[in-house]
């Protein structure tokens, strides 16, 4: 039987003990924001293994979900910083009280900080495959940023903190009201510069600003988005890249990569995707090693319905020339039960060259050889092996999955989980730390 710790902590070897901090929700008042060099002691890292980062309060209504669109990353110590949507907190089916919340690991207290509200954003129940929240940290300045959608007024909002998350200043990135719905913001902070990309209806939007200057617009031209996903990252030279999908016709799309200031180029062919297949929306994750872009993405190859749909792709330069996409194998319990992934994926590249791709397991049926979410790895980025992280207590799950390195060759997984009947783990935001 599992004991209660910072949250429910467990691994296949031992149980952790200690009091669990209860999530606290404030009134959602906007912080004024201050600029101080707060410094931050490291303290102790989170425990290894499976655990709850933030637990849904006991007795919450079925309409109440904590962790929608969770965005996570490691701070200067590789300790987790999280932002997510708390949907219908009072469970009355009125979603005006949807709010963006924030927490991070406190190594001195050996617990996650009490959950706090960044802003009440309203809207309705959020559905797949949209990601409404992004998080980033500027390693040069220590600034923490959270970009998110505010459905109440159809805007892209930005919260920034220069004091390790003690206070946040809020601003609107999409400063011109638009009829088209905003969605899927992606954020990069580096060298004092802020990069934000998002979808505005079917248009690809990108804005950049330096320091406290004004945002400047750039677009990839007259391009119609072919999916509800995009991903922005910033390379070691401080230049951004954006990956997204471009409509070709009613049933297919191209995966594209764009460097602001240049033309977008298609890097995966249209015959790899069928938009008519239910629940098979394309999705993409971008990261850089130096100035070289790497991608993990979902595309369903036709006509074989059981074919691989999760792929890895690397450029051989700064994003003009690309290698052949590498299929990531599914994990299955038999030749006829393919345990597929969909909607989301996350990607890390280690200095050794090992590639790790995580994705939620979405198939039906009972897994017999390893659970979810799926973690695929290739020491050389070529030959992937797929299974779940060791000792996973989860069958299907892993929505809005995040993956980052907390120590050399050690990964942290963070994702939303909403099963209310799993005896081994609760609903909320789940974390796995690789021992």
For 216-265, what is each residue's pLDDT tens digit?
A: 998 888 787 877 899 999 999 999 999 998 876 666 778 899 999 998 88
Q: Which band of pLDDT confidence, cut at 50, 70 and 90, is reported for residue 138?
A: very high
Give the per-residue pLDDT at 200.
Answer: 92
- Is the pLDDT confidence value at 435 over 60? yes
Q: 10 forms bridges with which residues in the sheet? A: 15, 50
Model confidence pLDDT, tens digit, residues 319-348: 999 999 998 988 765 555 567 788 899 999
Least confident of 29-33, 107-111, 142-146, 351-355: 29-33
Q: Among 413, 425, 421, which Cα is nearest to 4's?
A: 425
In the chain the first and final C-alpha atoms are separated, in Å, by 21
- Is the pLDDT confidence value at 6 over 60? no
Buried b (16+ CB within 10 A) or exposed e, 300-337: bbeeeeeebbbbbbbbeebbeebeebbebebbbeeeee
User: Which sequence spans correspond to the domains of the chain?
Assistant: 1-38+56-219
In sign, the C-alpha dihedral spanning 33, 36, 37, 42 is: negative
- The token duo for 176 is 């011109």
Taking every pair of Cα atoms in the chain, the longest distance, rounded to a whole number of angstroms, is: 58
- Is the pLDDT confidence value at 413 over 90? yes
Q: Which band of pLDDT confidence, cut at 50, 70 and 90, is reported for residue 36?
A: very low
Give the burial class of 366: count Cβ atoms within 10 A of its Cβ; 0-12 exposed, 13-18 middle, 19 or more buried: exposed
Give the mean pLDDT of the chain.
85
Determine contact, residues 243/295, Cβ cutoff 8 Å.
yes
- The token duo for 364 is 């039906």
Reported as type and span, the H/E element at residue 119 is strand 116-120
Q: Which band of pLDDT confidence, cut at 50, 70 and 90, is reported for residue 135?
A: very high
Q: Which band of pLDDT confidence, cut at 50, 70 and 90, is reported for residue 12?
A: very low
Give the per-residue pLDDT at 338.
Answer: 60
- Is the pLDDT confidence value at 2 over 80? no
| Residue length of the chain | 435
- The whole-number average pLDDT for the span 155-171 is 97
- The token duo for 293 is 């872009």
pTM: predicted TM-score of the whole model, two decimal places:
0.89
Model confidence pLDDT, tens digit, residues 104-119: 999 999 999 999 999 9
- Is the pLDDT confidence value at 302 over 70? no
- The token duo for 287 is 């990261």
Q: Measure the CA–CA gap between 291 and 237, rounded to whole angstroms.
A: 7
**Per-residue DSSP letter, 78:** S
Range ranked top by mean pLDDT from 26-40, 246-260, 382-396: 382-396
- Is the pLDDT confidence value at 369 over 50? yes
Determine contact, residues 190/140, Cβ cutoff 8 Å.
yes
Q: Which band of pLDDT confidence, cut at 50, 70 and 90, is reported for residue 399?
A: very high
Q: Among 293, 356, 287, 301, which Cα is nearest to 321's?
A: 293
**Per-residue DSSP letter, 113:** P
Q: Which band of pLDDT confidence, cut at 50, 70 and 90, is reported for residue 9?
A: very low
- The whole-number average pLDDT for the span 213-217 is 92
- Is the pLDDT confidence value at 18 over 60? no
Chain centroid to CA 320: 26
- The token duo for 328 is 């990531």
Q: Among 401, 400, 404, which Cα is nearest to 412's?
A: 404
Determine contact, residues 68/77, Cβ cutoff 8 Å.
no
Q: Which band of pLDDT confidence, cut at 50, 70 and 90, is reported for residue 62?
A: very high
């Amino acid at each position: 039987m599992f004991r209660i710790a910072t949250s429910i902590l467990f691994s296949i070897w031992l149980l952790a003990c200690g009091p669990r901090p209860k999530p606290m929700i404030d009134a959602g008042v906007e912080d004024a924001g201050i600029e101080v060099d707060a410094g931050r002691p490291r303290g102790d890292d989170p425990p290894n293994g499976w655990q709850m980062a933030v637990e849904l309060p006991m007795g919450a209504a079925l309409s109440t979900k904590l962790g929608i669109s969770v965005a996570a990353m490691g701070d200067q110590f590789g300790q987790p910083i999280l932002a997510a949507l708390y949907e219908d907190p009072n469970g009355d089916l009125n979603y005006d009280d949807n709010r963006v919340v924030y927490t991070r690991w406190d190594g001195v207290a050996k617990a996650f900080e009490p959950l706090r509200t960044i802003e009440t954003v309203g809207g309705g129940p959020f559905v797949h495959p949209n990601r409404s929240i992004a998080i980033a940290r500027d390693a040069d300045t220590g600034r923490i940023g959270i970009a998110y959608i505010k459905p109440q007024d159809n805007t892209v909002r930005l919260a920034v903190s220069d004091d390790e998350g003690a206070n946040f200043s809020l601003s609107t990135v999409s400063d011109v009201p638009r009829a088209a719905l905003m969605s899927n913001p992606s954020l990069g902070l580096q060298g004092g510069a802020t990069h934000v990309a998002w979808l505005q209806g079917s248009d690809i939007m990108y804005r950049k600003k330096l320091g406290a200057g004004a945002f400047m617009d750039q677009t990839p031209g007259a391009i119609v988005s072919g999916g509800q996903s995009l991903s922005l990252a910033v390379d070691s030279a401080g230049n951004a890249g954006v990956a997204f999908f471009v409509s070709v016709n009613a049933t297919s799309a191209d995966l594209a990569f764009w460097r602001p200031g240049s033309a977008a180029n298609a890097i995966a062919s249209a015959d790899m995707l069928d938009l008519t297949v239910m629940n098979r929306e394309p999705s993409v994750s971008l990261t850089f090693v130096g100035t070289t872009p790497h991608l993990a993405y979902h595309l369903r190859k036709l006509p074989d319905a059981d074919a691989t749909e999760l792929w890895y792709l690397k450029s051989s330069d700064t994003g003009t020339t690309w290698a052949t996409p590498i299929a990531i194998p599914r994990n299955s319990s038999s030749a006829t039960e393919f345990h597929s992934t969909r909607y989301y994926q996350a990607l890390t590249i280690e200095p050794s060259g090992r590639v790790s791709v995580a994705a939620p397991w979405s198939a039906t049926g009972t897994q017999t050889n390893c659970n979810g979410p799926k973690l695929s790895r290739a020491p050389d980025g070529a030959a992937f092996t797929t299974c779940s992280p060791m000792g996973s207590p989860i069958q299907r799950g892993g929505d809005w999955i995040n993956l980052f390195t907390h120590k050399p060759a050690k990964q942290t997984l963070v994702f939303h989980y909403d099963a209310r009947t799993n005896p081994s783990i609760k609903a909320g935001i789940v974390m796995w730390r690789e021992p």
